[in-house]
Amino acid sequence: MNYIGPKVHIDLTQLVKNYHLLSDEVGNIPIMATVKANGYGHGAVQVSKALEKEGVRYLAVFTIEEGIELREAGIQSDIYIYSKLNPYGLDKVAEHKLTLNISSFEDLEILKAYNFQGNTLKVHLKIDTGMTRLGVPHNRAEDFLKQAQDIDCIKIEGLYSHFATADEGDLTYAQSQLDKFNEVLVIAEKLDIKPPLIHCSNSGAILNLPESRFNLMRTGMLLYGGFPSDEVSQDLPIKPVMTFTAPVVEVRDVKAGTHISYGGVYTTKEDTRIAVVQAGFADGVPRPWYIDGFVKFKDQNLKITGRVCMDQLMIDIGSTDIQYGDEVLIFGSNEHGTILVNEIAKTIDSTSYVLVTAIGIRPRRIYS
């Protein structure tokens, strides 16, 4: 059966190019590639395999289950788990040789009580310097490090923190976080704790705060060809890896004054032709985009008419020669033109992270 529906085209060649551009930019400091949430919607397994071939040795996911998926797909690189320690998953962590995030004193107690049967788990210790999410408050770091140091079944491979505002123009708060983290590093040295991996930089910090790069950097969005905000340097010539398209499934003539879609918030101003596109917000089309949004076909901007439905959206095609089965561009780049996901995100007051990770399970992913 021929497939009629939304498609997500993933350009793995561009992914690799982005990786090398980023690696060159940072002087070949190792990169921890973040592939959580199905590789930001790009496909965690396919992305991980492509990057592993290029020498990436550190991958990060959010859950143990995401890590197991990569192991079962044959991924050999180190896999780091971002989430809060799950005490019920430690057997699986040991079995699949995953690396844990340890972010509280309670986590340490769980590790002390667990029988690892001779296994040693690699862990990264997380310090909260101002994100107020996971991590031990920086002013309790010394006690935390001392207790972690006394647990025989773990290897402290990493020490890290996470910035809250590194992708913003005002870096005052980010700098204060970095200062606190540097104080923690002094404490670790005093305790003779020397983790081989020290990391703070996310995508925003890589561009805005180069002094935070240390000897490992975590990045996701830059690899996928998007910038974390419009307040970071856009000079790095990365390009989007994802292109989202969908087919026209009906074309109909409508009169002036015709209400279109839910709520009737859009009314045609003249006689025209409306095309129904088979993709909706369940597939990843951002619903607020209908207000100012458009799709592209043969380099023409075709206005979205009315609210995006769960499975479909409507566009005003006027006299454009467009037929059943013709595909329109929702975002990305192809022969029809370019619609940057960052521009959509800015227009609807969202982020590129939200848009690419919102791609649903129905769109067919096509890799090249």
Residues with active-site annotation: 36, 262
Q: Residues 85, 107: contact at Cβ < 8 Å?
A: yes
Q: Which amino acid is at 48?
A: S
Q: Residues 282, 360: contact at Cβ < 8 Å?
A: yes
Q: Which amino acid is at 288?
A: P
Rounded to an integer, what distance in angstroms lies between the CA atom of residue 91 and that of residue 95?
A: 6
Our measurement of the distance from residue 114's CA atom to the centroid of its chain's CA atoms, rounded to an integer in Å, reads 33
Rounded to an integer, what distance in angstroms lies between the CA atom of residue 16 and that of residue 33?
A: 12
Task: Please tell me what DSSP assigns to residue 149.
Answer: H
Rounded to an integer, what distance in angstroms lies between the CA atom of residue 307 and that of residue 154?
A: 53
Rounded to an integer, what distance in angstroms lies between the CA atom of residue 26 and that of residue 32?
A: 13
Rounded to an integer, what distance in angstroms lies between the CA atom of residue 253 and that of residue 265?
A: 19
Rounded to an integer, what distance in angstroms lies between the CA atom of residue 111 and that of residue 362?
A: 40
The token pair at 218 is 């975590």
Rounded to an integer, what distance in angstroms lies between the CA atom of residue 296 and that of residue 122?
A: 48
Closest residue by Cα to residue 39 from 31, 50, 23:
50
Dihedral sign, Cα of residue 259, residue 260, residue 265, residue 270: negative
Contacts of residue 54, defined as CB under 8 A and 6 or more positions apart, other chains included, come to 16, 19, 20
Q: Residues 195, 214: contact at Cβ < 8 Å?
A: no
Contacts of residue 212, defined as CB under 8 A and 6 or more positions apart, other chains included, come to 163, 166, 174, 178, 200, 201, 205
